[in-house]
Structures are given as structure tokens and as C-alpha cells.
Amino acid sequence: MSKPHVVKPKKGHAHTHTIILLHGRGATATEFAEEFFESQDREERFISELLPGIRWVFPSATPRYAETEKETMNQWFDMTSVQRPQEDVEKQKEALKESVEQVLKIIEDEARKVPREKIFVGGISQGCATALFTMLCSGDRFAGFIGLSGWLPFQEQIADIAKRFPNLKYRVHRVRQLVEMKPLPDHMERECPLRTPVFIEHCEDDDTVPVENGQAMAETLDKLGMTVRTEWYTEGGHWIKEPQGVDDFVGFIWRKTMGL
């Protein structure tokens, strides 16, 4: 496992919170970080300027062979189609589990620096999907989850779990079973991850991951009992919407870091 790309808090600012963001399929952590930090708000300020006390951690996916594209690429798990993520979910299971375990180790490392309730997790596209599944399997409550242009793996199965099982911690147990992860030991169960506040944004003209996938993700998380805030933008493609989406992203972080 390669080391994450890390951007420390701005000089002169104490480290108050950490944001762990996962890149999309076919990208790298460094590429994602560099492009992400070029995004600006309405006043043309960069994200890192607006959140100076944040430690940013960008994990790297393992290169894996992509059967559809017939090539090796950085991906958190192989899949038949990002447009139709529910297709052939069994194919996704093994590598998704491996990636979840990889990200959980990074979270464990970061939790030595700040408490878990001061750590945000999230990502874009397949990185969003992987970060979300990691959070659901973690047994932890985080400061927040941020999903950009993404979807929920095993969305139909998780919607069924929400319908059949009212107990929140048992829902987490059933989600872990989807990728054959062992139950969490009792001593590892901290506050339920379903108490983590969620922020999702997606552009309606996204031709890589249809906005309907993001909407289905939001609806299912709501059924699981999570507090979900969504922003759907008319234009912006497969990326964070500038400048409005940057304002909304930063606003979510500000509110949660202040305990609102």
C-alpha cells in the first residue's frame, strides 16, 4: 500500500480536523489533490485557504486490472459500469473489502492525531463509493461524510437492510456481511457510524456517474437513519461545482467543525 498524499495545515494554524478524501477510478491521489485545491469559491478563494486548520489526506488506490477496459488502472475495485454500479456486484466484493480495510488503517493512523469525531471521510466518484462503504463498516461516528459525484455500493441490498432491520448497529453488522467482513468485537463498537452527518453534491449533467445514482444513495442513507444534506446542481459535470459547490462544501465543514 503506497503512502497517502498529505497536505498539512497552513503555516501558523493548529491542526484541528482531518479530511480524508478518496480519488476516482483511473486517477491518482496526487492528481486529485492538485486539481481539487484549484477549486475556488465565489470570492475566488481556494479551498485550502478557507480551511487552514485542516490536515488533508488523499489515499491511493491499488492498480488493478479492469476487465471492461482491458487494462490496469488505479481503482478501488473493478466493476462492469460506473453508470450502472448495481450490475455484477459480486465482481466488486473482494477488492472493495480490501480497499475498505486499507482506508480503515489510514483512519486508525489519523485517529492518533485527532479524535475520530474530528475526522471527515469522503471522496469523488468511485472514491466516494469506497469511502462511504468504509464509513458504514467502521463502527465509528465521524465529523462528517462528504460525497461528490458518487454512489452507494450494494445500494439495493442496503436499502433492503434498512427496511428489514430497525436496530442501527445491527444494520452496520449486515452491511459488513455484504463483503464478508467479520462482525466488530464489542469493545470496538464506538458510536454508530449511522450517526455521522452526510453531505452529498452531484451535478445533473454528470455523464460519468448519473445524478440518479447520487439520488439513490441519498435516499438509501436516509432510510438507514442518517442525517443527509444534498445539493443537486444543473451544470458542473463530473466534479465539484464551482463556485457554488465549493461554498456548500466549505459551509458543511465549517458548520460541523463548530458543532452545528
pLDDT at 185 over 90: no
Tell me the residue length of the chain: 260
Provide the 10 A C-beta neighbour count for residue 29.
Answer: 22
Q: Is 226's pLDDT higher than 60?
A: yes
**What is the model's pLDDT at position 229?**
98
What gap in Å lies between CA 129 and CA 122, rounded to an integer?
8
Average pLDDT over residues 83-107: 95
pLDDT at 259 > cutoff 70 = no
> Could you report the per-residue pLDDT of 119-132, keeping only the tens digit for each?
999 999 999 999 99
Q: 12-71, pLDDT tens digit by residue?
A: 999 999 999 999 999 999 999 999 999 999 999 999 999 999 999 999 999 999 998 999
Choose among 198, 210, 203: nearest CA to 245: 203
Q: Give the angle 11-12-16 at the CA atoms, nearest 5°.
A: 95
Q: What's the average model confidence in pLDDT over 215-231?
A: 97
Q: What is the pLDDT of residue 238?
A: 98
3-state secondary structure of 175: helix
One-letter amino acid of 121: V
Peptide bond into 243 cis (omega under 30): yes
Give Cα separations from 224 to 44, 136, 166 (angstroms): 37, 10, 9
Nearest residue to 121 (alpha-carbon basis) of 105, 104, 144:
144
Is it the case that residue 155 has pLDDT exceeding 90? yes
pLDDT at 95: 96
Evaluate whether 46 touches 37 at the Cβ level (below 8 Å).
yes
Amino acid making up residue 181: M
Asked if the model's pLDDT at residue 147 lies above 80, the reply is yes
Beta-carbon neighbour count of residue 95 at 10 Å?
19
What's the pLDDT score for residue 189?
52
Quick one: which H or E segment has residue 109?
Answer: helix 89-110
Pick from 31-35, 85-89, 97-101, 205-209: least confident = 85-89
Q: Is the pLDDT of residue 191 over 90?
A: no
Q: Where are the beta strands (DSSP E) in 161-260?
A: 198-203, 228-233
In this structure, are residues 129 and 153 in contact, taking their beta carbons and an 8 Å threshold? yes
Q: Give me the sign of the Cα torsion angle 227, 232, 236, 241.
A: negative
A 10 A CB-CB count for 79 gives 24
Q: Chain-wide mean pLDDT for the chain?
A: 94
Query: What percent of the chain has a predicted confidence (pLDDT) above 90?
Result: 87
CATH architecture of 5-257: 3-Layer(aba) Sandwich (3.40)
Spatial CA neighbour of 30 closest among 61, 58, 71: 58
* Alpha carbons 175 and 190: distance in angstroms, whole number: 17
**What number is the average pLDDT over the span 2-17?**
95
Give the pLDDT mean for 88-111: 96
Burial of 114 (0-12, 13-18, 19+ CB in 10 A): middle
pTM confidence score: 0.95
